[in-house]
Amino acid sequence: MLVHERLIRRVAVAAMAAASITACNSGSVQQAASAGHIVTGIQISPSTAVALALPVGQDLQLTAIATFSDGATADVTAIVTWESSDPSIVVSTSGLASAVASGASVVSASDGAGGHSASVNVSAIGADLDTLSISPIDPTILMGLSLQLSADGLLTDGSIVVYTGSVGWSSSDASIAAVSQTGLFDAVALGTATITAVDPVSGMSDSILVTVTDQPAALAYLVLTRGSVLGGSSTEVTGTVFLTSYGPDPVEISLGSSDETAVTVPSSVTVPAGSVSASFPVTTYVVPHRTRVFVTATDGAITKKARLNVRAAH
């Protein structure tokens, strides 16, 4: 009976402590914490991205999480003070970030009396995200090397915005392919793994299969200087093929286009001996509607590709 009473008393104390943290809407986070708990920091969620891309006219509810000295955490969104470095771009009230004009602002959550704070960069963009794409697609990298990945967002107005720092990066097997929150991929051990980028605002994602190899002078990946271009315009687009390492002999790479009415490339390009890359021109043509084309590079049984969004003239 005594043990049962002690258990009830402990549950009641814990419930009162939790209530004091969540119900207090004034004062510092530390004042809202129960006795014996020390606030060690505040974090804003979503926290998987370096920055957040928020379309103008949309809202995003941010959450402030306090961490205590005993390892416990609590939602203190309603307790902290929220501010925006530029309210003309992003307004922040009670953690609700609202993009009102294109630009960038820093949204912060602070506990003035306790001296704890956290912030997140918010980029207000002029259109909604239509498609998220990781580049390069399915790269093959020598073990021990690194490769900076990028995430591009195709917006509904046809423009491309760099989302590399606005997405959360993850690897299906960090023991083979580790990836940082800035998109830097490290080839750790031989094998394959899936790397995924997720936009925390829209929930859109893209994934690539990365291969870690020990084969030198193999076709590694293909990149383009642009991800989106007006078809038939004078804007130059250049493609570049990369090998896993330089080789003693020239390597001929076959090239192709998934839609030659919109995009053409030379039949092949040669990577010179002692080099790891070679570039080639990409020609676009007028299209009746927006067309997604894949440029391909093939070396024997290995094929790599890159996306190009060809826009129609308005």
What local confidence, expressed as pLDDT, does residue 47 receive?
78
Whether the pLDDT of residue 27 is over 50: the answer is: no
Strand, coil or helix: 299: strand
- Is 312 found in the same domain as 244? yes
User: What's the number of domains the chain is made of?
Assistant: 3
Same domain, residue pair 137 and 203: yes
Residues 114, 198, single domain; the answer is no
Can you name the residues that pair with 51 across neighbouring β-strands? 121
User: Which H or E run contains 12?
Assistant: helix 2-23
Yes or no: say if 213 and 294 are a contact pair by the CB < 8 Å rule: no
Tell me which H or E stretch contains 18. helix 2-23
- Other Cβ atoms less than 10 A from the Cβ of 313: the count is 10
Residue 87: asked if its preceding bond is cis (omega within 30°), the reply is no
User: Domain holding 209: CATH number?
Assistant: 2.60.40.1080
CA distance 30 to 114: 6
Of the two residues 137 and 48, the one the predictor is more confident about is: 137
Same domain, 186 and 94: no
Give me the CATH number covering residue 242: 2.60.40.10
Triad 281, 284, 289: Cα angle to 5°: 155
Range of the domain at 80: 2-125
The amino acid present at 79, given as its one-letter code, is I
Give one DSSP letter per residue of 26-71, joined into a string: SS-HHHHSPTT--EEEEEEES-SSSEEEEETT-EEE-EEEEEETTS
- Does residue 199 sit in the same domain as residue 227? no
Same domain assignment for residues 245 and 132: no
Given 125, 160, 177, the domain boundary residue is 125
Q: What is the mean pLDDT of residues 53-82?
A: 92
- Lowest-pLDDT range of 4-8, 186-190, 267-271, 292-296: 4-8
Lowest-pLDDT choice from 65-79, 95-109, 116-130, 267-281: 65-79
Q: Which amino acid does the sequence have at 112?
A: G
DSSP string of 146-197, one letter each residue: EEE-EEEEEETTS-EEE-TTTSEEEES-TTTEEE-TT-EEEE-SSEEEEEEE
Domain match, 250 and 190 both: no
Q: How confident is the model at residue 90 (pLDDT cuts 50, 70, 90)?
A: very high
Residue 9 and residue 121 in one domain: yes
For residue 31, pLDDT over 60 is answered with no
Q: Around 137, how many Cα atoms within 13 Å sit in the side-chain half-sphere? A: 18
pLDDT at 36: 56
The residue among 211, 214, 53 whose CA lies nearest residue 136 is: 211
Q: DSSP character for 272?
A: P
169 and 284 in a single domain? The answer is no
294 versus 159: the higher-pLDDT residue is: 294
Q: Are residue 17 and residue 83 in the same domain, yes or no? A: yes
Are 238 and 225 contained in the same domain? yes
The first and second tokens of residue 281, run together, are 């021109």
Mean pLDDT of all residues belonging to the chain:
88
Of 184, 199, 214, the residue that ends a domain is 214
At 302 the pLDDT is 94
**Residue 90 exposed, middle or buried by CB count within 10 Å (0-12, 13-18, 19+):** buried
Helix (H) or strand (E) holding 106: strand 103-111
**Residue 20 pLDDT exceeds 90:** no
Structural domain ending residue among the three candidates 181, 214, 247 = 214
